[in-house]
Each structure stands twice: as structure tokens, then as C-alpha cells.
Amino acid sequence: MGDLTRSSCDFVSLATQGARGLHPYQPGKPSDELERELGISNIVKLASNENPLGPSPIALEEIRNELSQLTRYPDGNGFKLKEALASRLKVQSSQLTLGNGSNDILDLIARAYAELGREVVFSQYAFAVYPIATQAVNATAVVTPALNWGHDLSAMLSAITDRTSLIFIANPNNPTGTVLSKAEVVEFLSQVPESVIVVLDEAYIEYSTDPDFPNGVSLLSDFPNLIVTRTFSKAWGLASLRVGYAISNEEIADVLNRVRHPFNVNSLALAAALGSLRDEDYLKKSITTNEHGMKQLTDAFDRLDYEYIPSKGNFVCFDTKGSGMEVYEAMLQQGVIVRPVANYGMPNHLRVSIGLPEENARFIEVLESLSHG
């Protein structure tokens, strides 16, 4: 079994050009793994922008109610969840596409609108899934240089050619946490040819309470080539269940639903997402926990003299003043998991997710011990 010595094939070279050139997404180190390695149990994981509160109790209750139906396929159209989202967002259900996390949605968009010979534009330091989704369909990635760690929209406009079919923008961006204002986004969208699809990835939008923050959904009526993507993984606290969605015009939603796998969102995920939407207090608590935690961390960076990139997400990148990887390893030894961003071309930075106050304090304590060390 699995004995490649008897095969005359090189199965890697048989793969498509896109797949051959891919580097798998590098997830944050799981707590269990570090626990096994170090033989300690009080691990603090601030590596994957997860919600530190645990899921909404209403989500848990909805999951329990759904358990007896596990022999059945889930509702492949996600009827109830779409209804709830549509009424919340003031759009039609037919404008929604549900995904197995919004990663799935990004992939569906690439599969529907990109292929060999087409170009996909995104920024340096943008979310790592964009190059993967692009290459997996053999399209050409066009990466524009960042401006102050964020998107340089005029560079992105200049990068558009006859072959451009798709543009990915994360607002706020991960891993840098940078944001674009409503005026910038509108100005950009009004200059992009309508035949180029623009994806506004709003995975962290719930954390941005500033009224000037652009809400992609409100721009859909002016820009039919816009797709907004959102997720239940971050502020709604359901990362493990994998639920995300796209809001777009009906025609685009129809296309995305054609390439979508029939039962891509499972029944527990559908039930939990629906339950979470009823728990407005949970969302509020997520936002305030994040605000307080962000202040706790950035105050510490200021006090300890570490530069950081101002962030509107539930994470922040700081400059370690040396090798990010070395600081990462040293923190691991003390049971604190953060995220290296060298794979994004940021070898001196680390990204830390906002945790509970005591988790943030552990991170700060460890960082402080290292800076005196």
C-alpha cells in the first residue's frame, strides 16, 4: 500500500501546472500538538484569529436539537439560514451562496471565474487563500505591491488587463489588519470594468464599528460585479463548523451555486449559524472583548517598545525587531502559540490574535520576558 517504488509515474509531475506550484496553506499550530510536545497543559493559542469566548449557548442548543437527524443529508439549499441572513442583510435569498467556510466561497469564485489564461489580481500581504485559489485553477496571479502594509488600490487598478477576470480584496486585511475607507472602495469600484469581478472579503467586518467603514452589501446595488464574502468563523465564533457565505447579484449567485458541491454546509453548521444569529449579545460581547484585548496588547507593545501595524481585525502584527521565527519558537517553549507570517513575506513580524484578558496577559508576560532575555 502506498508503495511508490513500484510505480514508473511521477504523480507530482502528472498534476496540473497550478497544483504542482502550490504550497499548502499553513495553519496555526494546534494546542494539542504543543501540549504533547511540551507535556504541559496550560497552552494559550492566539494563532488563528479564533473567537476566544467559545460558541454562543444558543448555537450549542441548536446543535443538540439537530443531532438526531444526523443520518439525513443537510438542506442543500440552506433555506432557513439564507432566509435569516437575507432578512438581516436586507437582500434576497437568491443573492446568497453558502460555503463550507468562506474559504470554500473564495474557491467557488475562482472555479467559476478564473482559469488558465485569466489573471487574478490581489495585493502583497493579502490573505494566503487568494494565491491558492488562483493557482488551483491554473490562473495567473498578479500580485500588486502593498502600500503601508495594505492594499494599494491605484496599483491594483493599473494591474487590470484584458485578461483580468477577478480581483480579491480583504477589508480588513489578514494578516496585516489594514482597512480601506468607504470612499476609497467606492472610488476603486467605479473605475474597475464591469466585466471584472471584485471580491470584497469581509471576514472581520463585525469588528469594525466605525460608521465610515465600508459595508460591501450596501454597495451591491451600484456595482453588479461585486461579491461580498463573510463568515461565521470569527466574530460569530464557529470556526470549527465551517460556515461562510457570499452576497452578490442573483446571476453571480446562480453561477456560484452551480459549481458548489450539493451539501457543502453540514446540518450542525447550518443549525448553529442560525442559532448564533439570534444571539445578538454574543456578537456584542465578541466585539467588546476584542476592543479591550486590542488595547491591552497595543498598550503593551507601546510600553515594551515594539512597533505594530494598527489593526481593525481580531489580531495584530508586531515587529519582533529580529527574526519572527525565533521569537515564535521561544514563545512556544513557554506555551504561547502565535502565528509566524514569514510565508507572507513578513519575516520580522508575528501575528497575535486577541484572546481573553488572561490569555493576552500571558502573551504579554512571555513577550516581556523575552525582551529582557
Ligand X SMILES: *Cc1c(COP(=O)(O)O)cnc(C)c1O
Work out whether 128 is an interface residue with ligand X (CB under 6 A): no
Q: How many residues bind ligand X (CB under 6 A)?
A: 14
Work out whether 18 is an interface residue with ligand X (CB under 6 A): no
Minimum Å gap between C-beta 48 and ligand X is: 8
Work out whether 248 is an interface residue with ligand X (CB under 6 A): no
Q: Are 186 and 221 in contact (CB under 8 A)?
A: no
Positive or negative torsion for Cα 117, 171, 152, 145: negative
Work out whether 102 is an interface residue with ligand X (CB under 6 A): yes
Work out whether 110 is an interface residue with ligand X (CB under 6 A): no
Question: Which three three-digit cell numbers place residue 328?
Answer: 515564535
List, in order, residues 6 or more apart from 256 with CB less than 8 Å away. Answer: 97, 105, 108, 109, 112, 246, 248
Name residue 337's amino acid.
Answer: I
Near ligand X in 271-300, by CB under 6 A:
none
* SS3 at position 178: coil
Work out whether 311 is an interface residue with ligand X (CB under 6 A): no
Work out whether 233 is an interface residue with ligand X (CB under 6 A): yes
| Residue nearer to ligand X on the CB measure, 128 or 330 | 128
H helices within 39-152, ranges in order? 57-66, 79-89, 101-113, 129-136
Question: Which three three-digit cell numbers place residue 370?
Answer: 523575552
| Residue nearer to ligand X on the CB measure, 99 or 335 | 99
| Residue nearer to ligand X on the CB measure, 63 or 205 | 205
Question: Which three three-digit cell numbers place residue 225?
Answer: 460585479
Q: Are 318 and 308 in contact (CB under 8 A)?
A: yes
Minimum Å gap between C-beta 236 and ligand X is: 10
CA 202 – CA 219 distance, rounded (Å): 13
Minimum Å gap between C-beta 313 and ligand X is: 7
Question: Which three three-digit cell numbers place residue 289?
Answer: 472583548
Choices 110-118, 161-169, 206-214, 229-237 (CB under 6 A): range interacting with ligand X: 229-237
Nearest of 274, 173, 183, 172 to residue 232 by alpha carbon: 274
| Residue nearer to ligand X on the CB measure, 29 or 300 | 29
Minimum Å gap between C-beta 68 and ligand X is: 27
Near ligand X in 166-205, by CB under 6 A:
170, 174, 201, 203
CA 74 – CA 100 distance, rounded (Å): 13
Choices 84-92, 207-215, 230-238, 338-346 (CB under 6 A): range interacting with ligand X: 230-238
78, 177, 244, 335: residue in contact with ligand X (rule CB under 6 A)? 244
Continuous segment of H or E residues that includes residue 337: strand 336-337
What are the beta bridge partners of residue 340? 350
Work out whether 49 is an interface residue with ligand X (CB under 6 A): yes
Task: List interacting residues with ligand X (CB under 6 A).
Answer: 49, 101-103, 127, 170, 174, 201, 203, 231, 233-234, 239, 244
